[in-house]
Amino acid sequence: MPPTATTAFLILDVAGTACALARTCVSEVLPLPRLHRQSATAGMLAGFLNLGGATVPVIDLARLLGLSEAAADPDDVDRHLVLDAARSTAFLVDRAEALVVVPDSEIQPADETRSLNGCVIAGFERGHGRVDVLSLARLLTQEERIRLDALTRAAAERLSGLDAATAS
pLDDT at 110 > cutoff 70: yes
Long-range contacts of 124-131 (CB under 8 A, 24+ apart): 124/9, 124/20, 126/11, 126/18, 126/100, 129/18, 131/9, 131/11, 131/18, 131/19, 131/20
Count CB neighbours of 32 within 10 A: 21
Cα 24 to Cα 5: distance, rounded to the nearest angstrom: 15
d(CA 60, CA 156): 19
pLDDT tens track for 46-100: 999 999 889 999 999 999 998 887 766 656 778 999 999 999 999 999 999 999 9
Is 90 exceeded by the pLDDT of residue 14? yes
Q: Is the pLDDT of residue 166 over 70?
A: no
